[in-house]
Structure 1
Amino acid sequence: MKSNYLKIGILGAIMLANFANAQQFPLDNLKPRDQRGINTFENPKDSVTTFEKLKVRVGGAFALQFQGIKHESGADQSVPATQLYNIGNNFNLPTANLDIDVALYDGINLHLRTFLSSRHHNETYVKGGYIQIDKLDFIQKDFLSDFMKHATIKFGHDEINYGDAHFRRSDNAYTTQNPFVGNYLMDAYATMIFAELYYRKNDFIGMAGVTNGRLNQNATGGTSPSVYAKVGYDKQVNNDLRVRLTGSVYNAAHTQRLDFYDGDRAGSRYYYVMENAAATSSANFRSGQIVPDFKNKVTSFMINPFVRYKGLEFFGTFETASGRNFAETDRRTWNQYAAELLYRFGNNDNLYVGGRYNMVKGELATGNKVDISRFNIGGGWFMTKNILAKAEYVNQKYDGYPTSNILYDGKFNGFVLEAAISF
């Protein structure tokens, strides 16, 4: 634990030393990670270039929560396997990210993110990174310029662009883009080897990608390529109204280990909820999250509408996923529904209030049909464009689990406060 705080302190000193210089220049076609990046989904595409020479921008994020949540289970609390962890009101582990962005060449950017402190891994490790190519001038000046005016090539080992929900989730300490504290119940997030091709023109967006579907890479066989795609429309109709609608698909025909819905090593924001009394911090890092247990096959679809009118904004999610683990012969299906309604106001929209409703229904490998619901009510205050304070009330319920499961008639509720810095 002491080493974590030492690393955070060293990171803070480095970041403060580089902060003034890092804020002096933007990098082409990379979105900002402070308040200015709110409601920016994919990285922007701009044919105008400011590249002069190789530039390095150092940034990062910090996050700290105070949790006051209580939980209950209908399972027999005299049985050790179903006894709930004793949680109380206290602070969670502070988390920290280190971001490095590099303008390598005219139209070529590099992004790298390192988790210095996270819930599942106490040690520092690279979360992922990618190269983004918006021009092919390194081949020849203006090479395929008419095509590259609208196209982007992106590849690396990082989160893939499936759906729009991952643009509104907390990524360890980077929480600015998430109006609430927790992520979605069924969190389609994983870092994989990938390649993506984007084409954007006249407010339409198209993207096709391929990956091997693996979180940890090795040269063993038994894996087929996984493919995914996104199509959508995003238009600023006038000064008051913006409309966006996207649809995404992901298909993994066969892989040795699928981490599509349980690939977030940073872990859930709701610490120890509905966990066994014998749980350790590394074993229960997905507390409150729903994992469908698809290990080698999955096909998922996600639709996301987004509408902003003046200060009022709506974001929705419908997702359906079918898959199986190694012990199964038939696929099971899980559906997710979510709706967020926010109102941003104040000086430069520095205040907001809102609510989110999230429900998941599906079938366990045991055959039990379950449904889980969660609603959040909360708000936030951007004290500066880099400093955000959040407060929320969360209520989550479980239904349909067998009596031998710790989640049988389970529920948790309470409040969480979060302070976050990102730049």
Structure 2
Amino acid sequence: MDLTRRLTQQVILRLDALTDDLVDEILDENAGYVDAELVSLDELRRSCRDNIERVLQMLGDIVPAGVDPLDAAVVTGTRRAERRAPLEAVLRSFRIGGRVVWRSLAQVAKEDGTICWDDMVDVAAAVWTVVDEASSAVARAYRRTELRLRRLDEHRRLTMFTDLLRGRARDTAFAAEAAAELDLPPGGEYLVIVTDLAQDGGPGLATAEDLLAVNGVRSIWQPHARQTVGLVALATHDPDRLLDVLHAAIRDRVGVSPRAHGLGEVGTAHELAVLALRTLPAGDAAIARLDDRLPAALLVRSPDLADRLVDVVLGPLLRLPDGERQALLATLSAWLRTNRSPAAAAELLYCHRNTVINRMAKVESLLGRSLEDFESTLTVSYALKALDLPDGHGTRKPDPPYHPS
């Protein structure tokens, strides 16, 4: 009979004693491995017994039919990963186990008295080959479980982040849980930043988080609803400076919320950041702060009313032939931007002051209202702003800007 197999069959009868020896040596040499949070003493004893038994069965070629010889190793790797026990500590315990098995085989050989020690070289090689195979199975199971848990953690964090954006943090219990899970201050001030999600997964996502972290700013960035959303903890930081830092990382349209006071306001802040983003035309690499674009945001939020405003107020102008329509719209816009100054508007349009006066007279006639009246001027200004809203909000788009010769 093969020497390794003969010795193994005798050693396996001492399984309980070997288990005790292995547990004692792990406690002595790898004490940090045994912890109520990682591995209890009872669990350690069961695991040691199961793994020694399988190693001996593999050495003696006596693994029961239909049993995976590495099942104990896989279970150990999986459970230790689930408990977040360090892999190095797990593998160290397996090396100690190999030593205990080898010492027991050597002791049986010594007691036999007929075995040549030169023959034990092959036994030693067989022991460490099996121990290495079991250790590899432990490591594979550990890393596979670690990856699964990491994905679960990421999914949990993403779900929690999504719930923050949906306003769930108005529940103080959830806010506290989210703050702990995401490492965020529950009562601090935040900005919510929204940008378009690029084909490659999001512009400057990792860079933005890293840049802010270098500046001592905690932030979280996640894809959400075809956009990239950042939650930035302001603490004592100046929002203007942070946005300057971000602009270098996110070269695209960016919508920025007002300050959110605590996680409970993050849901509303997210809605407002999305609204700010929608005021920017596609391809316009600019930062839109909601508080700087409130009139446009009002119109974007009510696209049907914006359409109605354009039709009711500017309809007569929009129905003119292309050239005339463009000239009058350009003049009306320049006249409003220059605080109703014909001379200043003429300078913008590269035309004579009288041309502006004549065109404005025609505009007033077509619109049926005097633009010297504050209410009328305000209404027309909003109608022009609605006309200039980005595509996709239900409003009628103007032709290309008019450039008089």
TM-score normalised to structure 1 length: 0.20
TM-score normalised to structure 2 length: 0.21
- Structure with greater strand share of residues: 1
Q: Which has the larger radius of gyration?
A: 2
